[in-house]
Structure 1
């Protein structure tokens, strides 16, 4: 019989010695395997469980509800957020109103890279936007996630090393296994129609596209934020506001070029 994974999380009211052992022993007595266990945030503990049938989970939940020192907060099929919470010991922050928006701070780059790598591993079309102020680590995180996912990354527009604006791809660059990286500011402010023809072509590919500065990108194109599957926000701190005031300064850049320090 094929085993099923479950995510079990509980809140600790009184962390007495031996509490974790009692919970783990109960799980073992019911014939359920513990795959991973970790503290999640401050007073939560999460586990990935492996069981043979749902009856085991129902019995576990029934017994746990009689325990005074803990409260079951989650007992469900694990989502990507659940798996990463156990792996990293913290939850990815998700916008309460816009469920496709996820928030990170620079101290959580490891969690961000892991999150994006898991998204990159999934086949098919995905459009991901990433917001953030200059030099916060947007492009580096995308590249690192591509490496973790064993995917090839391809800059369609960028300022990471030098200004890049592609107007065509060679045959081997068309691949479902590629991660196409697009800088929304460069594409909207410095690119010509040939570049945009290429972008429209890439958008039709069954692969992952990551667009930095998605708000600028949609403001000057036929695409909207509704077209994005995920929006990621990366800040230096929780209090930092993501603004685009620097764009007005760049419009007056007489050289006509941006550097990696602009974005």
Structure 2
């Protein structure tokens, strides 16, 4: 029996023994998934990000660029002199608001940082922003009446898909659209995210057509929040035999979110 290091992915020739294995030929390599041992795979992968905000002597509230922010991890804030840009600075304890209702996280610093100071913030996020992803480009005068909805697959999976308080925004040639009726759904079986857009969002917006009077094409783009994938730990020394790539993908989820996390 070979020794498997943990975590890891292995390719191994599988012997059928005295009877064939359904769906797997003897010449096909089997995918072996994660073997959990001493290393714990987080259920909710995290990533640390850094931001800087210039002080002006008046502003005390600073909106963070990412949401959601991990509320259990400490938000580290340094006040740094703009001239020396001392990397150590002075660490302070801000008032932190996770922003669950507004979908905006922010910190409050009192007294307000002065014009010769920079606020450096480090915090942990559970998602990252995707901006200006091109969804579709259409001719402005095309007849869309026979297509009530567009079903579009986003480039990223999974994403924040709380349709009660959307965290996404659509634009047409850079102009904001009313995205309140746009729906997002994560398909956890096929590992894709689908966005449903009512065509009336485009056809009923007279301001959109007026602002693009000289243009023949309208490009619809989306801003949204990509979540990191969740993982289900495999019991210690348990090996998963997968007979096709979809089974392998469902057993060991590897996404762009984890690539971003490793950079």
Same fold (TM over 0.5): no
Between Structure 1 and Structure 2, which shows a larger proportion of strand residues?
Answer: 2
Q: Specify the TM-score bucket, using the shorter chain as the normaliser.
A: under 0.3
Q: TM-score when scaled to structure 1?
A: 0.25
The two structures have a TM-score, normalised by structure 2, of: 0.25
Bigger relative CO (Cα 8 Å, ≥ 6 apart): 2
Choose between structure 1 and 2: higher helix proportion. Answer: 1
